[in-house]
Structure 1
Amino acid sequence: MTQSEDFTDHKARASAWFRELRDEIVVAFEGLEQNHAEGPFADAAPGSFTVTPTTRTADDGSDAGGGLMSVMRGGRVFEKVGVNVSTVYGTLGEAAQKAMAARGVPGIEADPSFWASGISLVAHMQNPHVPAVHMNTRMFWTPNAWWFGGGSDLNPCIEYPEDTAHFHATQQRFLDPHGTEVYPALKAWADEYFYIPHRKRARGVGGIFMDDRNIGDWEADFALTQDIGRAFLPAYVPLVEKRRAQPFTEADRETQLVHRGLYAEYNLVYDRGTKFGLATGHDPDAVLMSLPPLAKWV
């Protein structure tokens, strides 16, 4: 992370991109609901997103930003999916300052001002054969540093190796123009980040992940972040289209619910974004929209 500037234009461009990506994904997911015509849940009413503004309020009661929480529940294809965008700013609390300082953010305790914008998506599916998925990308700014972070990972409860291969190959195709070393590095980072120590296993089949991304070239890092976002729909939608009409059993559903418990454990215990959102006073419903609607533990 390097010396930062005001970055007004950079912030506006990043915030606008996350909103543009959100709009594209919402349209695509509602299209999947509309055109699901056969197989399980095809006779149900197609789902649509409920959109709710979110707000963040500073300790002194002043406005500190916000965003949009878009959630669809009980559709033909999606049991619950959230696509959130936010742009927040203000002053980091003492605990957040210490966490940032521990990560090497320069000057954060002397000037704890911050600005952050991003998109966060989690989809839990009706059909157990359709994998759950997570994606987020974000930009963070302080008076002395800036960086990007995020990625996407696939979380099937019933794994199909060909689906896993497609998801990873698509991500690699979008990332290779940024250097052939980028995809392997971000894949390895995802394997490490999305690991659940107390279960001694990964929460899914991996993907890509990065944090504190700052090579000193904002345009290059922003372009990489955009391509992580652009890779998402072509990596994921074909898997939904392939599996959504596949018959499933009660045993498959049980497997799905138990796997969701694993996902909930990770998000509540380890996920950095969940911790940051709650620690900085963002809307808890938006922060916790990643949790599945139903889950089981054995």
Structure 2
Amino acid sequence: MSDTPLVTQLAGQIVDYIRAEKAAPGTQLVERRLAEHFRVSRSPVRRALTLLEKSGQIGVNARRGGYEVLAEALAVPAVPQAAASDEDETAYLKVAEDRLQGRLPDKVTDSKLARDYGLSGAQLRRVLARIANEGWIERLPGHGWAFLPMLTSMQSYQDSYRFRLTIEPAAILEPGFVLNRPALAACREQQQQLVEGGIWDITNAALFDLNSHLHETIIECSRNIFFIESLKRIDRLRRLMEYKQALDRKYAIVRSREHVVLVDLLLADRREEASAFMRKHLTSVSIEKMIERAR
């Protein structure tokens, strides 16, 4: 069974935490403490640790059991590079485009997808696992797949930004707001790498993931489950449109600089300024996105 978006995101947050804490190789990773730190149950932590062990970023502690930090997890988090133009990526982007353009029905079968896109069974499983983890398709009981709703119209896209303008600045001012400093510091490092040149090599999909992860990390600090879940749902709905209609990179690098400033304000505990800056940032992005969409 493929991992859920929660598990894959949590795995990344655990690596960010290890790096921010500068944990030495061999440091024991305690499941209970991680669950308390990230305010989740132990089940997703356990699955996230299993995922990290499979990817070689943490190891099994032969003497004490459980998992321990490996040197591979301590490197500075790198900005993802442009994906190779392989068959999986091509098929994934073709499915996304066909879905956005209404060329795919709401429900599809494995056999039809494999036939229409010329994919082997293994390729199809990889592509569908990626799409399912991103949250825009789900397996039907017994047979086939169902695509989930997405933002496709100009009005719904614009409404999503107006909604974000309402909740994201407000979330920063929530009375229960508590900074997750390690996670925010890791996000800042990633955004700084974009500013320093990574913005020109990263794919639209990877750029969306980095930026949405930063905004979700900030809103998670509010500890308001309604704000948190609302933003994550919006991000799932707008994912494909963002892939297709990403910001011009000359604008995107400006937004990455703004992300760095925003995180710095939060880390300095200047929340009133951070909230106002978030509103200004989202307003600018929404205007630029509407201009791009209108072209």
Which TM class, normalised by the smaller chain length?
Answer: under 0.3
Normalising by structure 1, what TM-score?
A: 0.27
Counting strand residues as a fraction of each chain, which structure ranks higher?
Answer: 1
TM-score, normalisation: structure 2: 0.27
